[in-house]
Amino acid sequence: KNQVEQSPQSLIILEGKNCTLQCNYTVSPFSNLRWYKQDTGRGPVSLTIMTFSENTKSNGRYTATLDADTKQSSLHITASQLSDSASYICVVSGGSNYQLIWGAGTKLIIKP
């Protein structure tokens, strides 16, 4: 079954600290993997899209990694800011119909 699992479910860190969010997937065949940021009450906004051949991709203080062999991805946030408080969602495109399979997200709270 095609699934995307994210951990932790929620995370609280202090402003200025780094953190890493995890995403494991069982989607096959694999097309690409995306990380979205969703502020409360808003639609998700794309952070990165990674294809099979990409291991690392950065977008400002956000760095995503992908290990297609182990089917794992991580999102690393450096020097967190209060505005980073949001849900971070991992989405994998693939399967027989190349549909998008959405993870449940990690809720990140940055405390001053």
Partner 1 sequence: SQTIHQWPATLVQPVGSPLSLECTVEGTSNPNLYWYRQAAGRGLQLLFYSVGIGQISSEVPQNLSASRPQDRQFILSSKKLLLSDSGFYLCALGLYEQYFGPGTRLTVT
Considering only residues 13 through 42, tell me which ones interact with partner 1, judged by CB under 8 A. 32, 34, 41-42
β-strands 10-14, 72-77 pairing: unpaired
CB 57 within 8 Å of CB 103 = no
Using CB under 8 A, which of the segments 14-22, 60-68, 76-84, 97-105 binds partner 1?
Answer: 97-105
Work out which of 79, 82, 104, 109 binds partner 1, going by CB under 8 A: 104
Alpha carbon distance 2, 27 (integer Å) = 4
Q: How far is the CB of 78 from partner 1 (least distance, A)?
A: 24
Under the binding rule (CB under 8 A), the answer on residue 100 touching partner 1 is yes
Considering the rule CB under 8 A, would residue 54 count as an interface residue with partner 1?
no
Residue 110 interacts with partner 1 (CB under 8 A): yes or no = no
Distances (CA, A) of 56 to 10, 41, 62, 66, 78: 24, 29, 11, 6, 15
Cβ neighbours, 10 Å, residue 81: 11
Note the residues at the interface with partner 1 (CB under 8 A): 32, 34, 41-46, 49, 89, 99-100, 102-105
